Structure 1
Amino acid sequence: MSPVSAAAAPPRADLPATDAPLISLLGSRALLFETAGQAMTLHDQQRIWSLTHEVERWPEVLEAVPGMNNLMLVFARPPQDIEALRERLRQAWAAAAPTVLQGRVVELPVVYGGEGGPHLADVVAHTRLSIDEIVERHSAPVYPVYALGSHPGYCYLGGMDERIATPRRRQPVLSIPGGAVSIGGFQTGVSASAGPSGWNTIGCTDMVFFDPRREPPVLLQPGDAIRFRVEKVIR
């Protein structure tokens, strides 16, 4: 039996069935704004970028942190009227036009399989595709960077071919190295530093995504894009 779970995680029960966004409290000084549904589209992410630029100008907002089709707002002090703030956010979202960020396309050489891709066989077992098909479909797109998060320098990417989507692992791996190229559900990503992971590691790259001695310390920003170049396939 493959160690990946048999099905993707079910839809969240707290997400509304309509197109209305979900706005929830995070403690007393923060809100999380989430777009409706679970589809992670570049169009919605571009609207999130637009909303971020708008709310950053609100005097009560201390920090606005965009995520994957969501936005966290941190306030200087606890808001007094939460419902009025929610309505203001809904109106700002309705008015938000997509912001197109013209960034760089960075090419990443990847070695697929072998010691650096220990879960490639699990992706083969789940998708019933050959190694060559998986590598071809994984390396074909240009992946837009939606947001940074999880750990310093890590990029949330969009655009992976759904035919190679593979559920996250039932038992997370305690540590994967920086540069690990992995698939988790309908997403792919590259670890910027060593740490635990529940994704399926299919390859590795030598690219350094975070270096505190560099200015800026992170390699990529939202609006940039990644292209995986096949350096070698180890079977």
Structure 2
Amino acid sequence: MGEIKYMPAGDRALVVEFGNQIDPAINDKVHALAAKIAETRIPGVQEMVPTFRSLMIYYDPAITSFENVRKQTAELTGQLIGKTTEKKRILKIPCCYGARFGLDLADMEKHTGLDRDEIIKIHSSVDYKIYMMGFLPGFVYLGGLDKRIEMPRLKSPRVRILPGAVGIGGNQTGVYPLASPGGWRLMGGTPVDFYDPYREDPILCKAGEYIRFIPITIGDYYDIRHMIVKGEYQVEVVEEGDEGCQ
């Protein structure tokens, strides 16, 4: 597994660092440890925040100590050696490529040398792992982008990007959950709300899960959006090797 570092972060958090690069195997360990800690219920642990290559563990210093959490975490980490990852939980996200959403598709064609149909086919043929959440509530940092469609960020970020915009920034792809400034290249939009403060679970997905983009037409987009407003739409979720809905 390589050298694992256990470092204090202030007076109530511990950081477990598995490596110093973005790597699927490293990120698998991050999420496996988070699941193991949640299952074990280490006394005093309040919250965990996974990143690309580390896990931040918040604890209550009135209940436990850094050394206690470090020791128990190290024991659980040792149990992960040789373990295989669990089945992929995949959210099937409808995406309307182009139309009024794909503002940068023409530039992508010039940069990659591919036509838009090829770009869309490549982008929608991958199950993207959610390495971590951040930037905005519900914003997903997705790994697994094909190198053929990597794109540099805009030199001048847009002042306002609409919610649901699907874009590419460097070697990552993601979805803007809220209207915000942004410098990623926009290629499509999803009618699905990745963040809804009025929903029972405001954030649609979590780190460690996967997203599969499903191409839809502009008509499909508005039909699904209408269903969402009426509370009649639910994102389809499947597990790898089990194509039935969960």
Q: What is the TM-score normalised by the length of structure 2?
A: 0.71
Q: Distance in 2 between matches of 1:199 and 1:44?
A: 25
Structure 1 range deviating more: 160-169 or 24-33: 24-33
What's 1:48 paired with? 30
2:200 alignment partner, one of 191, 215, 223: 215
Q: List runs of 5+ in structure 1 lacking aligned partners.
A: 1-17
Letter of the structure 1 residue corresponding to residue 29 of structure 2: R
Change (3 A) 1:120 1:35: farther
- Percent identity between the two aligned chains: 35
| Post-superposition offset of 1:94 | 4.1
* Among candidates 106, 109, 112, match of residue 92 of structure 2: 106
Is the contact made by 2:7 and 2:14 (CA closer than 8 Å) also made in structure 1? yes
- More RCO (CA 8 Å, sep 6+): 1
Counterparts in 2 of 1:220 and 1:170: CA distance versus 1, 3 Å: same
The 1:162–1:29 alpha-carbon spacing in structure 2 relative to 1, beyond 3 Å, is same
Q: Is 1:119 the equivalent of 2:104?
A: yes
Q: 1:90 to 1:125 in 2, by over 3 A?
A: farther
- Structure 2 distance, partners of 1:136, 1:151, is 28
- Residue of 87, 95, 120 corresponding to 2:79: 95
User: Measured at CA, do residues 120 and 101 of structure 1 come closer, stay the same or move farther in structure 2, by a change above 3 Å?
Assistant: same
- Look up the SS of the partner of 2:201 in the other structure: coil
Mark the runs of 5 or more structure 2 residues left unpaired by the alignment.
219-246
Separation of aligned partners in 2, 1:198 and 1:32: 30
Query: 1:62-118 CA distances to partner (integer Å, 9 max, x unpaired)?
Result: 211223332111121298666x8667655543432344155343231x232354222
Give the Cα–Cα distance (whole angstroms) in 2 for the partners of residues 54 and 138 of structure 1. Answer: 32
Quote the RMSD (CA, aligned, Å).
3.1
Number of residue pairs aligned between Structure 1 and Structure 2: 213
In 1, Cα distance between the equivalents of 2:93 and 2:65? 48
1:185 aligns with 2:170: yes
- The TM-score with structure 1 as length reference comes to 0.73
Distance 2:156 2:57 in 1: 33
Report the Cα offset of residue 187 of structure 1.
1.4
